Amino acid sequence: MPVKKKAKSAKQRASKKPKFAKPVKKKRAVAAGTDPKRVAAILAKLDEAYPDAGCELKHESAFELLISTILSAQCTDVRVNQVTQELYKKYKKPEDFAYASSAELEKEIRPTGFFRNKTKSIMGASKAIVEKFGGQVPRTMEEILTLPGVARKTANVVLGTAYGIASGVVVDTHVIRLSNRLDLTRNEDPKKIEQDLMAIIPQDKWIIFSHQLIWHGRRACAARKPKCAECNLEHLCYSKDKTH
């Protein structure tokens, strides 16, 4: 006669309950393409293609570059240069922008888009430069970030291009796209991308590297239909966006 199995006690049943799995800590994605030899090869190819890469915003001072960079948000450098050609004839120093008529300034910078916010940023930053920094654009990341409308991208452009101070890497739309295509990062957030790039690019290359990636994005590695056949990084690139 088959022996009936003894019913398990509540205690036994409880001990058999599946334990919840420990939450897995999300590891920060490390791009496979960050091998130092590969990074060095990419830098060498960028140097070869764009030895004279630089900022395409026309300016004659750190202050003008700051204003042009604020204007360049969501706007082409060509359009910004057209607008500033006249603008800088009228507004020559920070005081001129700081105490300008906002209605007039809005009208003058309107072609660059987002003109109300940009007017607030330009006037606010100019006022802070006059009132807190003795009329000079500050030279440290910490101080420049206190200016209204200035975030890391603008700060890096001004510190790097106007002062030659390598405080970080400029991460704009081209740098976001290209650093992902070249597998130098697996992040989409500009702050994280900058951290990733700063970790793998030697500091003395931060300034030129930003310009070179931006130039490459404009001239070859466009968002749509990158010109891969003409790209000198083609043998190093395994992006799924590559065209054949």
What residues make contact with ligand SF4 under the rule CB under 6 A? 181-182, 220-221, 226-228, 231, 233-234, 237, 239, 241-242
Q: Encoding tokens for residue 239? A: 């992006």
* Residue 236 C-beta: closest distance to ligand SF4, Å: 8
Sequential DSSP letters for 107-169 = HHHGGGS-HHHHHHHHHHHHHHHHHHSTTS--SSHHHHTTSTT--HHHHHHIIIIIH----S-
* CB 115 within 8 Å of CB 147: no
* Residue 142 C-beta: closest distance to ligand SF4, Å: 34
Q: Name all contacts of 55-64 with Cβ < 8 Å and 24+ positions apart.
A: 55/157, 55/161, 55/211, 56/81, 57/81, 57/84, 57/157, 58/84, 58/85, 59/84, 59/162, 60/88, 61/162, 62/136, 62/137, 62/158, 62/162, 62/163, 63/93, 63/94, 63/129, 63/137, 64/88
* Residue 230 C-beta: closest distance to ligand SF4, Å: 8
Q: Encoding tokens for residue 12? A: 């036994």
Burial status of residue 228 (CB atoms within 10 A of its CB: 0-12, 13-18, 19 or more): middle
Of 186 and 242, nearer to ligand SF4 (C-beta) is: 242
Of 79 and 242, nearer to ligand SF4 (C-beta) is: 242
Q: Looking at residue 2, what DSSP letter applies?
A: P
Cβ-based neighbours of 194, under 8 Å, separated by 6 or more: 152, 168, 169, 171
Q: What are the residue numbers of the active site? A: 153, 172
